[in-house]
């Protein structure tokens, strides 16, 4: 029937044309990422094995159906048979699928057990999910004591379409998790607020991060490189904006990184006694704001009340400094306002407070790092 065919063809052509007009230059991802661990390789193989099985069964069964659609049509004169049961056939097609499932079960079971075996690990890293960033704590093995937060660094302009998107759009962070190649890494996940999930597809490892509870999982990276993943449990507004980046390096490079990171950690304790000039402090504060505050309180400071209060003309941001310092240091329990005192040093906190007190129409003076330090206990 010409009538309804033309409808189909037109819509198909339209869709393809729209697609061609907007085709991006980069490769089109359509399958598992290249495995970088034995487990990821095992998963890939299991998947292929099951897919072949499914395709064979599917083609077989629907071969019959489409043959019937062709050969058993009334319009070619086929008369209906009247059979409507056959116990033998029914038993066969009940038992054979059951057997097939048992055959699938054995190799799969082996992998399930292997995925849960977190014993004898070389390094243990605690991963904490926050709204909306990850925290990494190296708690055992080489690198023990290193702690840092890992926040998305893709600029807001790229997200809002005011700048071209970089290659690692939404998959880049300020502090990557670094691990040595070939070592078994035990990851203990937890969360600070709601359920998140930590996932690196190339390693085949995904684990929910549950507030108040620990969960452990492991991976063993087999090759050096940078591997990227995303949070995989809806955790609020910025769920799409808290990626995971793991850099796998040689054992030597790892040792170098550990040394350098520990030095940086002690050095980045900026001297809290320093007195800053107003414009320097505010400029630094603007950067701190962009990395930590803009998602909720917005670039124009107006927030999204009532959940995210406005900082423009706010009671705390234009009132006495102590109240402003306290809420940034200690957060507000029961709300999404975190205690940044644990994440930022005195200088960064003084800077961001100064920025807030001097933006969006606020004119409320600046705060020096020493004043922040004094209000910490």
Enumerate residues 215-234 that contact other proteins by CB under 8 A: 215-217, 228-234
With CB under 8 A as the contact rule, the residue among 143, 150, 173, 186 that binds other proteins is 186
Which stretch in 158-166, 247-255, 344-352, 358-366 sits in contact with other proteins by CB under 8 A? 158-166
With CB under 8 A as the contact rule, the residue among 13, 34, 56, 58 that binds other proteins is 58
The token pair at 190 is 């937890």
Q: Does residue 101 bind other proteins (CB under 8 A)?
A: yes
Question: Considering Cα of 249, then 254, then 256, then 259, what sign does the dihedral take?
Answer: positive
Q: Which residue has the tokens 């809002």?
A: 160
Name the minimum Å distance from CB 8 to other proteins.
5
Name the minimum Å distance from CB 320 to other proteins.
13
Q: Does residue 2 bind other proteins (CB under 8 A)?
A: no
With CB under 8 A as the contact rule, the residue among 34, 64, 256, 273 that binds other proteins is 64
Identify residues 307-336 at the interface with other proteins (CB under 8 A): 307, 326, 329-331, 333-336
Which stretch in 11-19, 246-254, 282-290, 361-369 sits in contact with other proteins by CB under 8 A? 11-19
Pick between residue 313 and residue 323 the one whose CB is nearest to other proteins.
323
CA 38 – CA 267 distance, rounded (Å): 39
Pick between residue 197 and residue 352 the one whose CB is nearest to other proteins.
197
Cross-strand pairs, 259:
none
Identify residues 271-310 at the interface with other proteins (CB under 8 A): 304, 306-307
Q: Does residue 68 bind other proteins (CB under 8 A)?
A: yes
Are 242 and 133 a contacting pair, CB within 8 Å? yes
Q: Reduced to 3 states, what is the DSSP secondary structure of residue 324?
A: helix
Are 161 and 269 a contacting pair, CB within 8 Å? no
Beta strand pairing status for 244-249 and 225-229? antiparallel
CA 55 – CA 31 distance, rounded (Å): 17
Compute CA distances 38 → 45, 73, 158, 200, 221, whole Å.
Answer: 11, 52, 36, 14, 8
CA 157 – CA 98 distance, rounded (Å): 55
With CB under 8 A as the contact rule, the residue among 52, 59, 145, 313 that binds other proteins is 145
Angle between helices 346-357 and 278-292 (to 10 degrees): 100
Pick between residue 265 and residue 304 the one whose CB is nearest to other proteins.
304
Identify residues 237-266 at the interface with other proteins (CB under 8 A): 237-241
Identify residues 341-370 at the interface with other proteins (CB under 8 A): 341-342
Q: Does residue 194 bind other proteins (CB under 8 A)?
A: yes
CA 221 – CA 185 distance, rounded (Å): 8
Name the minimum Å distance from CB 295 to other proteins.
9
């Amino acid at each position: 029937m010409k009538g309804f065919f033309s409808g189909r063809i037109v819509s198909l052509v339209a869709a393809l044309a729209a697609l061609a007009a907007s085709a991006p230059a980069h490769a089109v991802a359509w399958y598992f990422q290249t495995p970088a661990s034995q487990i990821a390789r095992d998963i890939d193989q299991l998947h292929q094995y099951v897919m072949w099985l499914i395709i064979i069964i599917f083609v077989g069964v629907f071969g019959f159906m489409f043959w019937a659609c062709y050969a058993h049509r009334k319009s070619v004169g086929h008369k209906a048979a009247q059979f409507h049961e056959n116990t033998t056939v029914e038993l066969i097609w009940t038992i054979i699928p059951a057997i097939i499932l048992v055959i699938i079960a054995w190799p799969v079971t082996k992998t399930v057990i292997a995925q849960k075996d977190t014993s004898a690990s070389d390094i243990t890293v605690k991963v904490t999910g926050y709204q909306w960033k990850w925290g990494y704590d190296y708690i055992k093995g080489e690198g023990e004591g290193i702690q840092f937060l890992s926040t998305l660094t893709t600029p807001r302009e790229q997200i809002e379409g005011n700048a071209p998107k970089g290659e690692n759009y939404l998959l880049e962070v300020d502090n990557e998790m670094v691990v040595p190649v070939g070592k078994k890494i035990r990851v203990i996940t937890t969360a600070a607020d709601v359920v998140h999930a930590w996932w690196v597809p190339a390693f085949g490892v995904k684990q929910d991060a549950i507030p108040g509870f620990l969960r452990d999982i492991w991976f063993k990276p087999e090759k050096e490189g940078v591997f990227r993943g995303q949070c995989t449990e809806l955790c609020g507004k910025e769920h799409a904006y808290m990626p995971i980046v793991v850099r796998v390096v040689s054992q030597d490079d790892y040792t170098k990184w550990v040394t350098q990171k520990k030095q940086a950690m002690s050095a980045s304790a900026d001297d809290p006694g320093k007195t800053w000039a107003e414009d320097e402090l505010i400029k630094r504060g603007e950067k701190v704001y962009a990395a930590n505050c803009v998602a909720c309180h917005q670039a124009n400071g107006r927030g999204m009340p009532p959940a995210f209060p406005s900082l423009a003309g706010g009671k705390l941001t234009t009132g006495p400094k102590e109240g402003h310092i306290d809420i940034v240091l200690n957060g507000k329990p029961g709300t999404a306002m975190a205690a940044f005192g644990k994440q930022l040093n005195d200088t960064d906190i003084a800077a961001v407070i100064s920025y807030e007190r001097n933006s969006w129409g606020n004119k409320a003076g600046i705060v020096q790092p020493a004043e922040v330090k004094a209000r910490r206990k």
